[in-house]
Structure 1
Amino acid sequence: MTRIVVIDNHGQFTHLEGRALRDLGVDTDIVDNDTPPEEIDADGLVLSGGPDMDRIGRCAQYLELDVPVLGICLGLQVIATELGGSVGEGDYGGYADVDVEILDEDDPLIGSLAPDTRVWASHADEVKELPEGFTHTATSDVCGIEAMSNVDAGLYGVQWHPEVAHTEQGEEVFENFIDICEQ
């Protein structure tokens, strides 16, 4: 059975990420972001959302585990920052329903959502510049970089929260990530 570990960055929706994966038939566990990387046995990781970059624990080390990683909100920002991109304050801030345009229909994580999807997202902080090797895969009127992928490295990220009911095709994002982890 596919095993995906959710890294808890102390976000308010982390438990919903674990539940979404369990509901899709995945063996999953939620572990604190201070868990030593050598103690994590998984086919994939989800870096959860969270309150701020000062509380990301060992997330940078988890990017070196050679398994696919899905960063959600703060998790996306961690991937961007650790790999040479930049994150800054969003113009909008706060949570809102957002219409997201999918820019890459071939992207294994979100391409199936094309041409657009409605999501629930926080834009207090957001990725301003992609790390080298990443593709810009989604945008909105609220946030320039709503999603990014580095397929070769197995690293994916979305600014929005696929685990909440307000996100129309959130389950599909998790299904696609499970497919990535099983390949």
Structure 2
Amino acid sequence: MRIDVVDNHGQFTHLEGRALRDLGIDTETIDNDTPPEEIDADGLVLSGGPDIDRAGNCGEYLDLDVPVLGICLGMQVIADELGGRVGSGEYGGYADVTVEIVDETDPLVGSLAPETRVWASHGDEVKELPEGFTLTGKSDICGIEAMGCERRELYGVQWHPEVAHTEEGEEVFENFAARCRD
């Protein structure tokens, strides 16, 4: 099995690949302007990054028929491409946040219920879910901390599961890898 990390120029992208390698998963970091037809992976992680306007071909990757995990900007790209709405967060920068898991059946974050401590940036955030998506996590400072569309195998978290400040980040990657194996 192989999961590629799509580099959206975020400061933690290298840690996402490392988290997957630490789980024994074959992974490669690819640039977000890689043509979709050149991708041969069982799943994709859309990394965080500074600017949705620099997300390259990420929107096209959503049609590759493989599970996709969007992290921070990656989640915002999924929402934006599929008809949701992204806007400025009221909180702004990075913070240690308690996320309430609101859907315990969600294959990505349900196992973290009832809540988990995470490291998240809220400069921008998803304000409205795309059609077909379910709210799976929320916090006092962000109404949509996590979302998923199990039918399309598209998932997103506002937080950074790859950093040490996130308590159960490894479990998020394990759960995503399980989706890619199915």
Alignment TM-score > 0.5, same fold: yes
Aligned residue in 2 for 1:149: 148
Aligned residue in 2 for 1:160: 159
Q: CA deviation at 1:150?
A: 0.1
1:84-134 CA distance string (max 9 Å, x none): 000000000000000000000000000000000000000000000000000
Aligned residue in 1 for 2:169: 170
- 3-state DSSP class of the match of 1:91? strand
Aligned residue in 1 for 2:60: 61
What CA RMSD, in Å, does the superposition of the two structures yield over aligned residues?
0.3
Q: CA deviation at 1:54?
A: 1.1
CA distance in 1 between counterparts of 2:53 and 2:111 reads 34
- 3-state DSSP class of the match of 2:174? helix
Letter in 1 for 2:74: G
Identity, in percent, stands at 78
CA distance in 2 between counterparts of 1:132 and 1:107 reads 17
**Between Structure 1 and Structure 2, how many residues are aligned?**
182
Q: Is residue 2:13 matched to residue 1:14?
A: yes
Q: Is residue 2:62 matched to residue 1:74?
A: no
- TM-score of the pair, normalised by structure 2: 1.00
Q: CA deviation at 1:60?
A: 0.6
- TM-score of the pair, normalised by structure 1: 0.99
CA distance in 1 between counterparts of 2:53 and 2:40 reads 25
- 3-state DSSP class of the match of 2:111? helix
CA distance in 2 between counterparts of 1:166 and 1:3 reads 26
Runs of 4+ aligned residues of structure 1 deviating over 3 Å after TM superposition are none
CA distance in 2 between counterparts of 1:152 and 1:129 reads 19
Gaps of 5+ in 2: none
Letter in 2 for 1:137: T
CA distance in 1 between counterparts of 2:75 and 2:165 reads 19
